[in-house]
A and B are shown apart, each in its own frame.
Chain A
Amino acid sequence: MSARDDILGTIRRSLGVTGQEAPRRSIVENRLAQAPRGVIPQRGQLDPQARAALFRTMAEAALATVEEVESLDKVPAAVAEYLRRGNLPARARVGEALAGLPWGETTLEVGTGPSDGRDLIAVNRAFAGAAETGSIALVSGPDSPTTLNFLPDYAIAVLRESEIAGDYESVWDRIRERYGKGTMPRTLNWITGPSRSADIEQTMLLGAHGPRSLHILVVKD
């Protein structure tokens, strides 16, 4: 017997079922179809403005920094200013989704495509935010390489204020809208603050393997 059939067989024997019982099968089908939500924290159930404020509070509590930007067009200037403030080089790798912005109006040197590990700074387009914990969600795809989220020392993410949801479940609704029910992008990253480790004497230190800092630009729509 194959390992697969053996394992499924033992599970069924232990549970005292055959796997063919119709009521059991329909319980499973219904659960998969309906995807019930369970307990949703009240804290994120707010009007859009208060939601954005909570997002900021929670993201900062997780040691990210958050900055508001008037419009998408102003993103390059905001990035340039952020790098200047931090005394960082004026060079960044940006996700294709942001390549059409007026980077030429700044002195930044901008490259696109995935990172090979030599980029100090990267700017990527986020898919959504969740106010309840100040987390952002980024999806992989031709115009948003996943390497940009992990290899650079300084990660910058761009998000529209209207993309900030109260809870994770509202983000799953949007994922299903975009990809279809049951289908996912290759990678979806929920990110809450910069990389850290507490493995040495339980002292929390930033910048373990991923970015030492996470800066989130929230674009007012």
Chain B
Amino acid sequence: MTSHITSPQFKENASRALVDAPLQQAMGNVRVNFIERRRAAAEKLPEFEGLRDSARDIKNHALEHLDLYLETWEQNVTKAGGHVHWARTAEEAREAVLAICRRVGAKTVTKGKSMISEEISLNTALEAAGIKPVETDLGEYIIQLRGELPSHIIAPAVHLNATQVESDFRRVHTHLDPKRDLSQPVQLLTEARGVLRDRFLAADVGITGANFLIAETGTSVIVTNEGNGDLTQILPKIHVVIASIEKIVPTLEDASQILRVLARSATGQEMSVYTTLSTGPRRPGDPDGPEEYHVVVLDNGRSSMLGTAFQDMLRCIRCGACMNHCPVYHAVGGHAYGWVYPGPMGAVLSPSLIGVDKAGHLPNASTFCGRCESVCPVRIPLPKMMRSWREREFERHLSPATVRGGLAFWSFFARRPGLYRLATRLGMGALAWFGRDKGKFASLPFASGWTKYRDFPAPQGGTFQQRYRDTRKQGARR
């Protein structure tokens, strides 16, 4: 039971997305807002680039010593009265959560936003066990009503507009006046706040994710703007954290270094509204807080990424900056990627977690413009890693025949420089001649995948090699 994966149909998904008008409008918002906000926040902090180096180094150090920090973290969770549940697979993680819920006879659980919960399809498992999961992050709540996957790792409902949300609320909140006004986003927010407030107070178990696990103190950290994660974890009797093994950092200081780049990279805030550190259950004399504290710590293939070309991916702090800056993500949105992790980080991570046979198309969805790497707060070389996946896909003969044929055709010429120059000169000349009136092509044989959505520019004369030679000559004369 993993969430329905449509990554193998990436091309079909993308084609559909390109003609989806509301989606295209929503993606326009992403392009404008996230990029500008991040840039402004980064500029306001002179130490930002230094902090990115620091964040990268901390994550590298933690990964190189992951076994030892996990052991220390576990000891400290236990010392504070909490419980650690180790899960090799999604299945084991779901079982661990279900076992806790069953033991206390839970009927409803509230949930803070957690990508691990999406990764292991926890909601489906809870429902199958007769337990009602209630997502409380506004975006997650909306997509739960729609039965969708998140389309963005920090803004799960970014693909929707207010009118779509309004019709979902009218469909589901049938206990409210059908004539109520929901024309403003603030009215939608107020309605969700009211509906969910009752759920918070009634829940038996609260489940949150974690942005960090701190080894020094056995602490889990969540970062939110809404406060939903906090209501999820302080009101029910039981708090369950689900987190993956690479969330470990050594100390409070290390978590603080990374926090300084997290919100700025994600939403352009100096700091998110709520950053909460939780350590064990309620203490003697505490007037509130959960009576039990559990952490389900998930591997799901990550331990095997260590020591490989993909180890660096485990530095990811899930800020979303790479997708916010990705021209491919802007064009097709998150759902086209076909699983829970979209954009450049998903293109690298998904093949590791669900297999290159299923997610092998994703690393191809890149223009190699390099913007993702240039904004990644922990400096993950995403384009290089997408290239590694392409090579592996090619080696394993998983690329389609047209790609293999095309590459073979090209390599025949590439190994014969004289012939290559001749062929490109002839080809460019022919294209320029045919396109000389309009300066572009609305359709081209063998290139309909390109020309269906945009024109192909006609060459303006000369091959790359010719122009390179000419420019060098000019440079030498100057």
Contact = CB atoms under 8 A, between A and B. Distances in A.
Q: Are A and B bound to each other?
A: yes
B67 A19 contact: yes
B75 to A, nearest CB: 10
Given A15-B64, A42-B46, A62-B273, A185 B279 contact: yes
Interface residues of A, number: 82
Interface in A145-183: 145-147, 149-151, 168-169, 172, 175, 182-183
A39 B69 CA distance: 22
Contacts of B245: 7, 11
A183 to B, nearest CB: 7
Interface in A26-50: 27-28, 31-32, 35-43
B54 A39 contact: yes
Nearest to B279: A184
A213 interface: no
Interface in B318-360: none
B253 interface: yes
Given A17-B67, A140-B288, A147-B234, A4 B86 contact: yes
A133 B270 contact: yes
Nearest to B259: A168
A123 B20 CA distance: 49
B217 interface: yes
Contacts of A39: 47, 50-51, 54, 257, 260
Interface in B57-108: 58, 61, 64-72, 76, 80, 86-88, 92
B274 A32 contact: no
Given A14-B308, A184-B279, A202 B29 contact: yes
B61 A31 contact: yes
User: Size class of B's contact patch?
Assistant: 35 or more
B271 interface: yes
Q: Is the interface of A mostly helix, strand, loop or mixed?
A: loop
A41 B260 contact: yes
Contacts of A41: 45-47, 260
Interface in A62-117: 62, 96, 113-114, 116-117
Contacts, number: 266
Contacts of A96: 287
B67 A182 contact: no
B151 to A, nearest CB: 12
A151 B235 CA distance: 10
A141 B286 contact: yes
Which of B66, B197, B253, B282 has most A Cβ within 10 Å?
A: B253
Contacts of B308: 14
B118 interface: no
A186 B286 contact: yes
Contacts of A190: 271, 274-277
Interface in B186-217: 186, 188-190, 193, 196-197, 200-201, 215-217
Which of B136, B190, B218, B283 has most A Cβ within 10 Å?
A: B283
B31 to A, nearest CB: 11
A199 interface: yes
Contact of B285 (A142, A183, A192): A142
Contacts of B269: 62, 192
Given A38-B58, A39-B50, A172-B252, A3 B88 contact: yes
Contacts of A151: 231
Given A39-B54, A140-B288, A32 B216 contact: yes
B323 to A, nearest CB: 14
B256 A182 contact: no
A194 interface: yes
A6 B300 CA distance: 12
Given A6-B88, A169-B256, A198-B267, A32 B251 contact: yes
Interface stretch (B153-161, B382-390, B438-446): B153-161
Contact of B226 (A11, A62, A183, A197): A197
A207 B161 contact: no
Contacts of A53: none
B253 A35 contact: yes
Interface in B29-54: 29-30, 33, 45-47, 50-51, 54
A208 B196 CA distance: 10
A182 B257 contact: no
Contacts of A211: 227
A126 interface: no
Contacts of A207: 189-190, 193
Contacts of B15: none
Given A150-B227, A186-B282, A192-B271, A117 B197 contact: yes
Contact of B304 (A10, A32, A35): A10
Interface of A: 2-4, 6-8, 10-12, 14-17, 19, 24-25, 27-28, 31-32, 35-43, 58, 61-62, 96, 113-114, 116-117, 132-135, 140-142, 145-147, 149-151, 168-169, 172, 175, 182-203, 205, 207-211
Q: Which 9 A-B pairs have the closest CB atoms?
A: A210-B227, A208-B226, A199-B139, A14-B306, A10-B303, A190-B275, A142-B285, A184-B279, A4-B86
Given A201-B161, A209-B231, 7 more contacts: A14-B306, A25-B68, A182-B216, A202-B30, A210-B226, A210-B228, A210-B230
